[in-house]
Amino acid sequence: MIETPEFQGTHLWERLCWAKEKLEPYRSEYCIVWEDPNDMENPAKVTHPDPNWMACALQGGILPPVQSYWELKKDENKPDFVKHTRGPELLHNMKPIGPMTEEEAIEYLIMKDIPEHVWRDWDKSNKPKMVICKKDQLPGTREWRNAWQISEDLVIKEEAA
Amino acid sequence: MVAHGTIAFDTLTTSDQVNTGTEKSLDTSYLYNGSIKAYGHHSGDSPTTATMNDKFNVSSLADNGNGDITYTWTNAFNNEYYSASGMSTEDGTIGYVSLYYSRSYTRSAANLRLQGIDNGDSFDDGAFTSFMCVGALA
């Protein structure tokens, strides 16, 4: 297995360049189906992990803690935001997190890329707002893509959307 | 034999003898800041999908519906005003698919949301979609 260099203090983008060259992309069979309660007019969304990103997550020593992304999001949401000034502190100089399992990586990705109001209370309504499923559980064609919703009887049906 | 390692330099200089004979210099930061910071190519019309053929600096792709995609960055941009360009396909059936910023997109340093519209004015996934982005990073 390739050993990750000591990357704390190295620009995150440079780490991604290293990973692109050294690591084999990992194609997860999982995806995340989710519905935004603030946007119920639209169909369920499906988030797919990027294989290069998955390779970084599984390798360890490359990605910052997910809390760094939350802090960046807070900064960007401030009314006087002009540009990020805490990139070095939060992304490049922060100690990278260690290797994750595929399950941990998917959970990290949910907390990074899906709105907090979706994943924080994902099971606090009449039906789940979010579900992790295998890609082969998605409908077989996109013909009715804009009608995809999370099934209300998810527990007893195999299809996720 | 190829040696791997790091060369640290701030300026590249050429005598440019072959062309003008006038010495020219280029700041290394200009090269860094002008390079493409994120790119990707995927197959858009597969259900299981959005098969990722190749990407860089992307943590995930969200399929929001027909012709509606969000790419989220691993290393966010410095602000929301980075530049992006993208293209999709023309297949003779649905016609050309053009890419735009999604109507639902709130500009963000952390992600990019694009929509594809075909020449029948419908949201549509092209057979292939690609994009690239330049700008300063956080």
Q: What is the pLDDT of residue B115?
A: 92
Share of chain A above pLDDT 70, in %: 96
Share of chain B above pLDDT 90, in %: 43
The mean pLDDT of A21-28, rounded to a whole number, is: 95
pLDDT tops 70 at residue B133: yes
Cβ within 8 Å, pair B62-A46:
yes
pTM for the full model?
0.90
Angle at B105 between CA A46 and CA A15, to 5 degrees: 70
**Rounded distance between C-alpha atoms, residue B63 and residue B125, angstroms:** 10
Q: What is the pLDDT of residue B36?
A: 95
Half-sphere exposure of B43 (CA within 13 A, CB side): 8
Give residue B5's identity as a one-letter amino acid code.
G
Cβ within 8 Å, pair A84-B76:
yes
pLDDT tops 70 at residue A156: no
Q: DSSP code of A77?
A: H
The mean pLDDT of A114-131, rounded to a whole number, is: 89
Contact between A82 and B136 (Cβ < 8 Å): no
Q: Is B122 on the interface with A (CB under 8 A)?
A: no
Cβ within 8 Å, pair B49-A48:
yes
pLDDT tops 80 at residue B50: no
Q: In angstroms, what separates the C-alpha of A124 from chain B's closest C-alpha?
A: 22
Q: In angstroms, what separates the C-alpha of A35 from chain B's closest C-alpha?
A: 10
Interface test with B, best of A22, A39, A45, A47 (most B CBs within 10 A): A47
pLDDT tops 90 at residue A121: no
**Rounded distance between C-alpha atoms, residue A56 and residue A22, angstroms:** 10
Contact between A126 and A152 (Cβ < 8 Å): yes
Show the domains of chain B with their CATH numbers: 36-134 (2.60.40)
Q: Is B28 on the interface with A (CB under 8 A)?
A: no
pLDDT tops 60 at residue B86: yes
Cβ within 8 Å, pair B75-A49:
no
Residue B53 vs residue A19, higher pLDDT: A19
**Rounded distance between C-alpha atoms, residue A157 and residue A144, angstroms:** 19
**Rounded distance between C-alpha atoms, residue A99 and residue A105, angstroms:** 9
pLDDT tops 90 at residue A83: yes
> Could you say which of B52, B74, B110 has the minimum Cβ distance to residue A48?
B52
Angle at B22 between CA B21 and CA B24, to 5 degrees: 125
**Rounded distance between C-alpha atoms, residue A45 and residue B54, angstroms:** 21
> Could you say which of A16, A45, A112 has the minimum Cβ distance to residue B75?
A16
pLDDT tops 70 at residue A158: no
Question: Mean pLDDT, chain A, as a whole number?
Answer: 92
pLDDT in tens, B25-45: 888 887 777 899 999 998 876
ipTM beyond cut 0.85: yes
Q: In angstroms, what separates the C-alpha of B19 from chain A's closest C-alpha?
A: 33
Interface test with B, best of A29, A69, A74, A84 (most B CBs within 10 A): A84
**Rounded distance between C-alpha atoms, residue B7 and residue A12, angstroms:** 19
3-class secondary structure, A22:
helix
pLDDT in tens, A131-153: 999 998 999 888 899 999 998 87
Q: In angstroms, what separates the C-alpha of B108 from chain A's closest C-alpha?
A: 8
Among all residues of chain A, which has the CA nearest to that of B138?
Answer: A87
Q: What is the pLDDT of residue B112?
A: 96
pLDDT tops 90 at residue B18: no
> Could you say which of B64, B74, B123 has the minimum Cβ distance to residue A53?
B74
